[in-house]
Structure 1
Amino acid sequence: MNFDADFEECHHVNNMESKINDYFAVPHLSWEQQDRIACADARLREKNYPKAIETLWNMYEALHRREQSSTVGRYVLIRIAHINIYNEDYIAARDNLSFIMQFPNTIGNPLLHLRLGQVQDKLGNEKRAVDELARAFIMDGKRVFDLEDRRLLEIPLRALNEPMDSDWNHYEGQDWEVTK
C-alpha cells in the first residue's frame, strides 16, 4: 500500500473541498442532497470518478428547473467540474465550467476563472488560459493560486509583466463576494 500516494490524493480532495467552500457559498441542502454530496465525496476518495460524477449529475437533474440555475445547481456543477479535472477530462471540465459561467452572479468568481484557465491551458488554448488566469489573479491575487501548480500563477504574471514576487500592492482589487 502506498501511503504517500493515498495521503496526496486525500490532500487534493480536501484542497478541492476547502477551495470550493472558500469561493462558493455552500447552499442550504436537504438531508438527501447532503447524503448525495457525501456519497460523491466517498466515491471521489476511492478514485471512482465516473460514479462520483454520476451521483452528482443525478442530484443536479433531480433539482427543479429553477434550482438548477441557483446556488445549489452551481455548487453541484463546480464539484462535477473539479472531478472532471481530477479525471483529466478537460473537455468536460471546460464545458461544465463554461455552463456555470452563465449562472447569475457568477462571472468574476476567482476560483471559477482559475479552473477555466487551468483547463484551457491543459487543452492548449493559450490565449483563453491567459485571459482566465489573469482574471483570477486580478480578482483575488495570489491567494486563489495557493496550493496550485506554480506554473498556473506564472502564466498571468508573465502576461501582465509582473515579477513572481509581486504582491500587487498598488491594486486594490474588487469585491467579488457577490459571486460567491
Structure 2
Amino acid sequence: MELDDNLYEQIVTLCNEGDTLVEEGDVDHAIRKYLTALNLVPSPKNEWEASTWIYTALGDAYFINEEYVQAKDSFFNALNCPEGISNPLILLRLGESLVECGELDKAKEYLLRAYMLEGYEIFSEEEDQKYYELIKDIIGGY
C-alpha cells in the first residue's frame, strides 16, 4: 500500500520541518510537527512505511528532550512498523531509551540486536559509550 501523493507530500513536508526544528534546537515544536504528520497517516498506523520514520524521528526528539518514556513508546511503535524490526538505529535508540527508563535487561536485548546487525560502528563517537559498556561483556568486547 502506498499513501496518496498529496498526503505523502504533506507528511514529508511536516517531517522535514520537524527535522529542521530539531537541528535549530526547537525540539518541542519539532515534536508537534511529527505528531501532526503522524495524525495524517491512516489507521492502522503500523501498516505504513511512513509511520516507521515518523515514530523514529519522534522518538529521537523525545530522547533529546529527556522524555524517555515517550521515546521508548515511540521506538516500540517504530519497531512494529514496516522494516522496523530490522532497523539497527531503531533497535539502538530503543535500547538507549530503555536504559534511561531503568529497564536494563530489556535494554541489553535491543542494544545487542543493534550490535548484531551493525557491529560496533552503531555505537559511533556520537553515542554515549555507557550503552556499549552494558553489552561489552556479553559480546566479548574491550
Q: Could you say which TM-score interval applies, normalised by the shorter chain?
A: 0.7 to 0.9
What code does the residue aligned with 1:141 have? G
Larger relative contact order (CA 8 Å, sep ≥ 6): 1
Number of the residue aligned with 2:103 = 125
For 1:138 and 1:154, how far apart are their aligned partners in 2?
Answer: 15
What code does the residue aligned with 2:133 have? E
Kept after mapping to 1: 8 A contact 2:10/2:37: no
What code does the residue aligned with 2:130 have? R
Structure-1-length-normalised TM-score: 0.68
Kept after mapping to 2: 8 A contact 1:60/1:68: no
Measured against aligned partners, the alpha-carbon deviations of 1:13-51 in whole angstroms (never above 9, x if no partner) come to xxxxxxxxxxxxxxx984433321232123223322221
Where in structure 1 are there 5+ consecutive unaligned residues?
1-27, 165-180
Using the aligned pairs only, state the percent identity. 21
Number of the residue aligned with 1:91 = 69
For 2:25 and 2:58, how far apart are their aligned partners in 1?
Answer: 14
The number of residues matched between the two structures is 136
For 1:67 and 1:129, how far apart are their aligned partners in 2?
Answer: 25
Greater alpha carbon shift after TM alignment, 40-49 vs 116-125: 40-49
Greater alpha carbon shift after TM alignment, 132-141 vs 95-104: 95-104
Q: CA RMSD in A?
A: 2.0
1:157 aligns with 2:112: no
Measured against aligned partners, the alpha-carbon deviations of 1:48-81 in whole angstroms (never above 9, x if no partner) come to 2221111111111112226653211111110000
For 1:59 and 1:44, how far apart are their aligned partners in 2?
Answer: 15
Equivalent residue of 1:65, what SS? Answer: coil
Greater alpha carbon shift after TM alignment, 63-72 vs 38-47: 63-72
